[in-house]
Structure 1
Amino acid sequence: MSAPTIPAPTAPSPARPGRPAGAAPGRRRTSLGRRLAPYGYLAPVAVLMLVLMILPVAVVIRYSFFDNVIISPTSVLVGLRNYVQILTDPLFRTATRNTAVFTGVSVLAHLVLGLGFAMLLNSPLLGRRTKTVFRTIFVMPWLLTVAIIAILWRLLLDPNGVVNFGLQSVGLIDGPVAWFSELNLALPAVTVMNIWAGYPFFMVSLLAGLQGISADLYEAAAVDGASWWRRFFHVTLPSLRPIIISMALLDVIWTSQQFPLIWMTTGGGPLERTEMLSTYTYKLAFSEYQFAQASASAVIMLLVALVLAVFYVRHQRARD
Structure 2
Amino acid sequence: MPHQSGARGGSPMSRRSKHASSWNNYLFVLPALLFIVVFIGFPLVYNLMLSFQNVSVYNLNGKHDFIGLSNYYKSLEDPVFYISLKNSAVFTVLSLIFQFTIGFALALFFNRKFPGRNLFRSLMLLAWMLPVVISGTVFQWMMSGDYGIINYFMQSLGLIDKPINWLSEGRTALLGTIVANIWIGIPFNMIILLSGLQGLPEHLYEAAKLDGANRLVQFRNITLPLMKPTILVLLILGIINTFKVFDLIFVMTAGGPVTSSTVLPIYAYQLSFSTYEFSQGASVSMIMFIILTLISIAYLRMSGKEEVHA
TM-score by length of 1: 0.86
Which residue does 1:293 correspond to in 2?
280
Percent identity over paired residues: 33
- Structure 1 residue 269, shift from structure 2 partner: 0.5
Question: Once structures 1 and 2 are overlaid, which stretch shifts more, 212-221 or 51-60?
Answer: 212-221
Pick closer, same or farther for the CA change 1:132–1:41 going to 2, 3 Å.
closer
Q: Secondary structure in 2 aligned to 1:274? A: coil
Quote the RMSD (CA, aligned, Å).
2.3
Which residue does 2:235 correspond to in 1?
248
Equivalent-residue separation in structure 1 for 2:302 and 2:233 (angstroms): 7
For residues 102-181 of structure 1, the aligned pairs below 5 Å read 102-124=91-113, 127-129=114-116, 131-159=117-145, 160-181=147-168
- Structure 1 residue 44, shift from structure 2 partner: 3.0
Pick closer, same or farther for the CA change 1:128–1:313 going to 2, 3 Å.
farther
Which residue does 1:284 correspond to in 2?
271
For residues 54-133 of structure 1, the aligned pairs below 5 Å read 54-68=41-55, 71-124=60-113, 127-129=114-116, 131-133=117-119
Which residue does 1:4 correspond to in 2?
none
- What do the CA deviations read for 1:20-67 (whole angstroms, capped 9, x no partner)? 99966x777555433322223333332232222112111111111111
Which one has the bigger helix percentage? 2
What is the count of residue pairs matched by the alignment?
298
Q: Structure 2: any 5+ residue segments left out of the alignment?
A: 3-7
Contact persistence 1:250–1:312 (CA under 8 A): no
- What do the CA deviations read for 1:275-310 (whole angstroms, capped 9, x no partner)? 000000000001111111111111111111112222
- What do the CA deviations read for 1:159-206 (whole angstroms, capped 9, x no partner)? 202111111111111122211011111111110110000011110111
For residues 232-247 of structure 1, the aligned pairs below 5 Å read 232-247=219-234
Equivalent-residue separation in structure 1 for 2:302 and 2:193 (angstroms): 17
Equivalent-residue separation in structure 2 for 1:273 and 1:302 (angstroms): 23
- What do the CA deviations read for 1:127-169 (whole angstroms, capped 9, x no partner)? 232x234213322211111011011111211220211111111
Equivalent-residue separation in structure 1 for 2:267 and 2:185 (angstroms): 22
Q: Secondary structure in 2 aligned to 1:295? A: helix
User: Which has more radius of gyration?
Assistant: 1
Equivalent-residue separation in structure 1 for 2:287 and 2:53 (angstroms): 15
Contact persistence 1:246–1:315 (CA under 8 A): no
Pick closer, same or farther for the CA change 1:21–1:47 going to 2, 3 Å.
closer
Task: Give the letter aligned to residue 154 of structure 1.
Answer: Q
Task: Give the letter aligned to residue 274 of structure 1.
Answer: S
Residue in structure 2 matching 1:206, options 175, 186, 193: 193
Equivalent-residue separation in structure 1 for 2:108 and 2:87 (angstroms): 31
Which residue does 1:43 correspond to in 2?
30
Task: Give the letter aligned to residue 158 of structure 2.
Answer: G
Q: Secondary structure in 2 aligned to 1:175? A: coil
Equivalent-residue separation in structure 2 for 1:291 and 1:247 (angstroms): 33
Equivalent-residue separation in structure 1 for 2:108 and 2:276 (angstroms): 49
Pick closer, same or farther for the CA change 1:90–1:21 going to 2, 3 Å.
closer
Task: Give the letter aligned to residue 175 of structure 1.
Answer: K
Equivalent-residue separation in structure 2 for 1:177 and 1:104 (angstroms): 24
Equivalent-residue separation in structure 2 for 1:32 and 1:227 (angstroms): 59
Task: Give the letter aligned to residue 257 of structure 1.
Answer: K
Which residue does 1:9 correspond to in 2?
none
Equivalent-residue separation in structure 2 for 1:171 and 1:194 (angstroms): 26
Contact persistence 1:94–1:275 (CA under 8 A): yes
Task: Give the letter aligned to residue 181 of structure 2.
Answer: N
Pick closer, same or farther for the CA change 1:89–1:21 going to 2, 3 Å.
closer
Equivalent-residue separation in structure 2 for 1:249 and 1:23 (angstroms): 50
Pick closer, same or farther for the CA change 1:22–1:153 going to 2, 3 Å.
closer
Q: Structure 1: any 5+ residue segments left out of the alignment?
A: 1-13, 15-19
Question: Once structures 1 and 2 are overlaid, which stretch shifts more, 234-243 or 206-215?
Answer: 206-215
Which residue does 1:268 correspond to in 2?
255
